[in-house]
């Protein structure tokens, strides 16, 4: 690292690191305040010295503020179950354990549902398993909190970490505006495949059955679903065009964020129409006969609707995240 390069990125890293050790409720406000204080002090020093905000100057300033841990401790509430030193580890453990639980729960749910004898029975099994999963997650959450609360009070606090802390060794915070090219390209490829298959090779979207040693295909999707194809094609085409624009612009800009939000809204409307619309899988006698069991059709319907529902929620979350990011940026610019 060159000593004379602009060291302001260290401020980003410092603010990010302090924030990661603070409760979510206070995080944003405290981060804005620390950034403002650091920039005020830095500006004053630049006025005095007439120099550049190089790595060394910013590092010295950060050392005066103290390590991110020390700063977070000062800002943290007086009483807490899990303090700043363990908070980021606590969140990490919580995320890993809960993710594993959800995955295992969903696998169990799938296995249990596949053994259902009827649709009503399948729904009962799904409901019971979901309740058990939520109960398990709450219990696990409680145990993790208790374990960390005990660690917080038992572990001796080492001053070594603070003394060894060197702002020069902090890594850059990833640029929030920079697009993730690989993600965009993968999305574009899938949208293109979707458009091609549904419009030019619809025969590929068929169910496959084996009877009498022969492979047979049957109409898998209901006519109700197929009438959505023009909408789906429009949405995928929008995705492709948008991805091309994004790859060309390289960074997220206000205009692209708002367009993304618009496409997300359209996708959500489309998903809601699918979820609450008519049947998704074909129920003609020919199609029903091709399924291993007739009972699987309603289960597959429910499964697909749950999947679409999850996609709808994820779209909603990404929409809110994007809007919050943009509104925050706007607020900073205006104010």
Partner 1 sequence: MVKKETPRSLPENLTLELRRGVIILAVLSQLDEEQYGYSLMSKLTERGLEIDQGTLYPLLRRLESRELLESHWRVEESRPRRYYTISAKGAEVLPLLIEEWNQLTEVMKGLLQ
Binding site for partner 1 (CB under 8 A): 30, 32-34, 36-37, 39-41, 44, 64-66, 70-71, 74-75, 83, 85-86, 152-159, 332, 334-335
Name the minimum Å distance from CB 42 to partner 1. Answer: 10
Sign of the CA dihedral with 289 first, then 290, 292, and 296 last: negative
Name the minimum Å distance from CB 53 to partner 1. Answer: 14
Name the minimum Å distance from CB 208 to partner 1. Answer: 60
Name the minimum Å distance from CB 176 to partner 1. Answer: 18
Name the minimum Å distance from CB 152 to partner 1. Answer: 6
Name the minimum Å distance from CB 46 to partner 1. Answer: 13
Please answer whether residues 222 and 282 qualify as being in contact, where contact means their C-beta atoms are separated by less than 8 angstroms.
yes
- SS3 call for 168: helix
Which residue number, 20 or 283, has a Cβ lying nearer to partner 1?
20
Which residue number, 37 or 265, has a Cβ lying nearer to partner 1?
37
Which residue number, 84 or 194, has a Cβ lying nearer to partner 1?
84
CA angle 66, 159, 95 (to 5 degrees): 80
Which residue number, 215 or 332, has a Cβ lying nearer to partner 1?
332
Please answer whether residues 94 and 144 qualify as being in contact, where contact means their C-beta atoms are separated by less than 8 angstroms.
yes
Name the minimum Å distance from CB 298 to partner 1. Answer: 55
CA dist 323 and 245 (Å) reads 19
Q: Which long-range contacts (CB under 8 A, 24 or more apart) does 129-135 make?
A: 129/105, 132/105, 133/101, 133/102, 133/105, 133/108, 133/109
Which residue number, 6 or 43, has a Cβ lying nearer to partner 1?
43
Name the minimum Å distance from CB 23 to partner 1. Answer: 13
Which residue number, 30 or 221, has a Cβ lying nearer to partner 1?
30
Which residue number, 75 or 291, has a Cβ lying nearer to partner 1?
75
Q: What is the CA radius of gyration of the chain?
A: 27
Region of 116 please: left (phi>0), alpha (psi -120 to 50) or beta.
beta
Region of 265 please: left (phi>0), alpha (psi -120 to 50) or beta.
alpha
Please answer whether residues 305 and 275 qualify as being in contact, where contact means their C-beta atoms are separated by less than 8 angstroms.
yes
Which residue number, 58 or 109, has a Cβ lying nearer to partner 1?
58
Q: How many CA atoms lie within 13 A of 130 on its CB side?
A: 8
CA angle 54, 60, 65 (to 5 degrees): 125
In which residue are the tokens 């679409």 written?
308
CA dist 167 and 60 (Å) reads 8
């Amino acid at each position: 690292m060159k000593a004379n390069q602009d060291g302001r990125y260290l401020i980003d890293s410092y603010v990010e690191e302090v924030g990661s050790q603070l409760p979510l409720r206070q995080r944003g406000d405290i981060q804005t305040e620390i950034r403002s204080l650091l920039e005020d002090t830095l500006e004053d020093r630049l006025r005095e010295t007439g120099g550049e905000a190089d790595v060394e100057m910013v590092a010295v300033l950060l050392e005066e503020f103290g390590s991110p841990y020390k700063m977070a401790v000062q800002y943290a509430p007086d009483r807490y179950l899990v303090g700043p030193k363990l908070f980021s580890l606590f969140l990490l453990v919580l995320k890993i354990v809960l993710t594993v639980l959800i995955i295992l729960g969903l696998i169990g749910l799938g296995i249990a549902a596949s053994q259902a004898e009827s649709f009503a029975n399948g729904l009962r099994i799904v409901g019971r398993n979901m309740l058990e999963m939520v109960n398990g997650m709450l219990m696990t959450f409680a145990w993790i909190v208790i374990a960390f609360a005990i660690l917080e009070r038992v572990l001796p606090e080492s001053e070594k970490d603070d003394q060894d802390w060197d702002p020069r060794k902090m890594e850059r915070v990833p640029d929030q505006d920079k697009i993730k090219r690989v993600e965009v390209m993968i999305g574009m490829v899938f949208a293109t495949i979707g458009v091609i298959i549904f419009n030019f090779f619809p025969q590929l979207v068929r169910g496959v059955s084996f009877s009498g040693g022969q492979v047979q295909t049957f109409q898998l999707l209901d006519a109700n679903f197929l009438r959505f194809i023009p909408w789906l094609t429009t949405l995928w085409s929008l995705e492709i065009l948008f991805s091309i624009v994004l790859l060309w612009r390289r960074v997220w800009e206000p205009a692209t964020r708002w367009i993304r939000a618009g496409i997300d809204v359209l996708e959500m409307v489309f998903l809601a129409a699918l979820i609450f619309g008519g049947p998704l899988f074909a129920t003609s006698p020919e199609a029903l006969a091709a399924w291993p069991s007739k009972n699987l059709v309603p289960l597959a319907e429910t499964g697909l609707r749950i999947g679409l529902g999850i996609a709808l929620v994820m779209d909603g979350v990404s929409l809110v995240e994007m809007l919050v990011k943009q509104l925050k940026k706007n607020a900073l610019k205006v104010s």
